Amino acid sequence: MNEFRYTGYAQEIIFAPGSIARLGDAIERHSWRRLMLCSTGSLRRDGTIASIEKVLGDRLVTIFEHVQPHVPDIQVTEALAIADKHDIDAIIALGGGSPIGLAKALSLALEEKRSGRSTRSTSPIDQPLVPIIAIPTTYAGSEMTPVNGVTHHSDGISRKITVSDSKIVPKLVIYDPSLTLNLPPTLTASTGINALAHCIEALYSITRNPVSTATAISATRSITSALPRCYSVPNDIEARTEMLIGAYLAGTALANVSMALHHGICHVLGGTAGVPHGIANSIILPHAMRFNLDATASELAPAAEVMGISLAGRSPEDAVAEAIQRIHTLIADMHLPQRLRDVGVQEADLPQLAQLAFQNRTVQNNPKPITDTAQLETLLRAAW
Ligand code: NAD
Q: How confident is the model at residue 1 (pLDDT cuts 50, 70, 90)?
A: confident
- Ligand 1 centroid to Cα of residue 95, in Å, is 6
User: What is the pTM assigned to this prediction?
Assistant: 0.97
Output the CA torsion 233→223→72→153 (10° steps): -120
pLDDT at 342: 97
Residues 6 or more apart whose CB falls under 8 angstroms from that of 117 comprise: none
In whole angstroms, what is the distance from residue 301 CA to residue 307 CA?
10
**Residue with more model confidence, 122 or 85:** 85
Mean pLDDT, range 3-26, rounded to an integer: 95
Average pLDDT, the chain: 96
Ligand 1 close to Cβ of residue 188 (< 6 A):
no
Ligand 1 close to Cβ of residue 42 (< 6 A):
yes
Strand order in the sheet with 60-64: 12-15, 172-175, 132-136, 90-95, 35-38, 60-64
pLDDT at 2: 86
Residue 27, pLDDT > 80, answer yes
pLDDT digits (tens, 9 = 90+) for 348-376: 999 999 999 999 999 999 999 999 999 99
Ligand 1 close to Cβ of residue 179 (< 6 A):
yes
Residue 118, pLDDT > 90, answer no
State what percent of residues in the chain have pLDDT above 70.
100
pLDDT digits (tens, 9 = 90+) for 229-266: 999 999 999 999 999 999 999 999 999 999 999 999 99
pLDDT at 120: 83
Ligand 1 close to Cβ of residue 183 (< 6 A):
yes
CA distances from 242 to 113, 153, 174, 191, 230 (A): 41, 39, 15, 15, 9
Mean pLDDT, range 82-97, rounded to an integer: 98
In whole angstroms, what is the distance from residue 308 CA to residue 330 CA?
14
pLDDT at 75: 98
Kindly report the three-state secondary structure assignment for every residue of 85-137.
Answer: HCCCCEEEEEECHHHHHHHHHHHHHHHHHHHCCCCCCCCCCCCCCCCEEEEEC
Output the CA torsion 337→338→344→347 (10° steps): -170
pLDDT at 331: 98
Helix residue spans in the chain (DSSP H): 23-29, 41-45, 48-56, 73-85, 97-115, 185-203, 210-232, 237-255, 261-271, 277-306, 316-333, 350-358, 361-364, 373-383
Atom of ligand 1 nearest to the CA of 184: 20
pLDDT at 287: 98
Atom of ligand 1 nearest to the CA of 179: 18
Q: Are strands 147-154 and 157-164 parallel, antiparallel or unpaired?
A: antiparallel
In whole angstroms, what is the distance from residue 104 CA to residue 76 CA?
10
Q: How confident is the model at residue 121 (pLDDT cuts 50, 70, 90)?
A: confident
pLDDT at 117: 85
The whole-angstrom distance between residue 367's C-alpha and the CA centroid of its chain comes to 20
Q: How confident is the model at residue 224 (pLDDT cuts 50, 70, 90)?
A: very high
